[in-house]
Amino acid sequence: MNDASVGAQSSVEQVLIDLLASFLATNGVSVATGFSFSQKLFDSRVVSIEKDSGLLISSSEDAIFAAITSGAYPRGHYVSRLVANRIFRSLEQINSQGGSAFLRQLSASSKSEIRSQLLPLYGVGDKFISSYLLLAGIEES
């Protein structure tokens, strides 16, 4: 969420948090709820950015699933497993495109460029794109 309350996080970290929030929000919860869960995933280092390599790090899909369900994600275990799988697989795809360099490029892109960069990621569709654009503060006209 692009606002002053985020402050201490780098723009690359914020893009990652917004992407995580979009995965969580796409499956029947509000964007605010998705953002809250994504911030917890990042703060607890379930998903992080390795400083030296710039790669996105998560120990496993199971770790993401456990963190989502322990936080009482309101969509149940089945949807939580789907979300964890989508997040984990997309992290791998983002890493294959440069990890934090991909996130940096995404933060500097136009709406149409964002759409073309995100749609190839596993589990990303129109609702995901709408959530991400909202979190990134980009008007969807």
C-beta separation of 21 from 38 below 8 A: yes
pLDDT tens digits, the chain, 141 residues: what are they?
A: 444 434 445 799 999 999 999 999 888 788 888 898 899 999 999 999 999 999 999 989 999 999 998 877 778 788 889 999 999 999 999 999 999 999 999 999 999 999 999 999 999 999 999 999 999 888 766
In angstroms, the CA 108 to CA 28 distance is 28
pLDDT per position as a tens digit, 97-138: 999 999 999 999 999 999 999 999 999 999 999 999 999 888
The answer, as to whether pTM is greater than 0.85, is yes
As a whole number of angstroms, the distance between CA 129 and CA 141 comes to 13
- Residue 49 DSSP code: E
Give SS3 for 1: coil
Question: What CATH architecture does domain 11-136 belong to?
Answer: Orthogonal Bundle (1.10)
- Retrieve residue 107's tokens: 């933060």
Q: Which residue intervals of 1-141 are DSSP H helices?
A: 11-25, 31-43, 61-70, 76-96, 100-107, 111-118, 126-136
Amino acid at 105: Q
